[in-house]
């Protein structure tokens, strides 16, 4: 290899490393700034409510329909396996624990990232491209307080509610398949579920997970939008990054949270 090729390769590696470190530093500073401005979102309650509507209410269709079908499929698959062990009366428990602990927060989080996260990034990115953020700055209005904080806060509020609705519809879907279609006794379906699902251990941990996912997805979405290159391609790239980074973050965070929350299992 020629020396100038080595130098060229080293320069590229160096530039990429510096770029990554710079981006990481900017992301950290941005996150702190967003957290500092979050109280502003509470003061501008109408803006935050509007964002809850856009992130939460407009995501309802995809969340409810997905939850219903996931619950129905879970019931069919679960019944097939449980019947082999003569435990088909535990279908309600299986479905409820799967949804409340894992599938509810994770799948709702992934759907939330695709539906609301990408929309938040695209909206902020386009506002940047069309100089709306600059115009706001020049009008002495801080875009972090006016644009970013309400969207961030709206995402945090919406995500646990959507995850709860996802789990609820999932359980209802399982009820339709298990009790109404297959014919499992309704009393044992609900009774076993009620006795096996612990509020603190299962439901609260599920809610904590969905809040953490809400923070992660909202933060990534607003950061990617704010940091997007002000071009059509830049906004498109930022939107894709939001979905990819949010999805990977949800899966990684889920593993970490599960390790801490359910470490007593099997002990």
Partner 1 sequence: MPDTVPAGNDAGGAGATVLLKDVSFGYERRRTILSGIDMSVPRGKVVAIMGGSGCGKTTILRLIGGQLRPQRGQVLVDGRDVASLEREELFAMRRKIGMLFQMGALFTDMSVFENIAFPLREHTELPEELIRDLVLMKLNAVGLRGAAGLTPSELSGGMARRVALARAIALDPMLVMYDEPFAGLDPISLGIVGQLIRRLNDALGITSVVVTHDIYESLKIVDYIYFVSEGRIVSRGTPAEVRASSEAFVRQFVDGAADGPVPFHYPARPLGEDFARAA
Site for partner 1 in 203-242 (CB under 8 A): none
Q: What's the CA gap between 13 and 26, in Å, rounded? A: 20
**198 backbone φψ class: left, alpha, beta (φ>0; ψ -120 to 50):** beta
Minimum CB distance to partner 1 smaller for 28 or for 135: 135
Q: What's the CA gap between 138 and 134, in Å, rounded? A: 6
Structural contact between residues 79 and 178, judged by C-beta atoms closer than 8 angstroms:
yes
Three-state SS string across 206-241, please? HHHHHHHHHHHHHHHHHHHHHCCCCCHHHHHHHHHH
Minimum CB distance to partner 1 smaller for 77 or for 134: 134
Closest to 154 measured CA to CA, from 85, 215, 229: 215
In the bound complex, what is the minimum distance in angstroms from residue 225's beta carbon to partner 1? 14
State the binding string over 138-177 for partner 1 (x if CB under 8 A, else -).
xxxxx---x-------------------------------
Site for partner 1 in 105-144 (CB under 8 A): 126-127, 130-132, 134-135, 137-142
Minimum CB distance to partner 1 smaller for 147 or for 238: 147
20 touches partner 1 (CB under 8 A): no
Minimum CB distance to partner 1 smaller for 140 or for 265: 140
Chain contacts with partner 1 (rule: CB under 8 A):
126-127, 130-132, 134-135, 137-142, 146
């Amino acid at each position: 290899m020629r020396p100038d090729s080595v130098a060229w390769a080293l320069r590229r590696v160096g530039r990429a490393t510096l770029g990554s470190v710079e981006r990481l530093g900017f992301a950290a500073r941005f996150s702190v700034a967003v957290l500092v401005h979050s109280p502003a979102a509470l003061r501008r309650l109408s803006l935050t409510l509007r964002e809850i509507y856009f992130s939460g209410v407009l995501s309802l269709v995809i969340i409810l329909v997905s939850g219903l079908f996931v619950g129905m499929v879970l019931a069919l698959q679960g019944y097939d396996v449980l019947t082999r062990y003569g435990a088909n009366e535990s279908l309600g428990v299986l479905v409820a624990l799967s949804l409340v602990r894992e599938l509810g927060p994770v799948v709702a989080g992934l759907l939330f990232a695709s539906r609301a996260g990408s929309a938040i990034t695209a909206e902020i990115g386009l506002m940047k491209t069309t100089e709306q953020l600059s115009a706001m700055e020049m009008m002495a209005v801080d875009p972090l307080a006016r644009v970013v904080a309400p969207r961030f806060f709206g995402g945090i509020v919406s995500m646990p509610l959507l995850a709860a609705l996802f789990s609820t519809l999932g359980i209802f879907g399982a009820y339709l398949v298990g009790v109404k279609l297959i014919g499992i006794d309704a009393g044992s379906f609900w009774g076993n579920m009620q006795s096996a699902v612990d509020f603190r251990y299962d439901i609260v941990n599920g809610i904590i997970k969905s809040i953490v996912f809400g923070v992660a997805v909202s933060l990534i979405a607003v950061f990617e939008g704010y940091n997007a290159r002000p071009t059509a391609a830049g906004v498109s790239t930022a939107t894709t990054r939001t979905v990819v980074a949010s999805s990977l973050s949800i899966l990684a965070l889920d593993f970490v949270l599960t390790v801490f929350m359910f470490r007593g299992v099997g002990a």
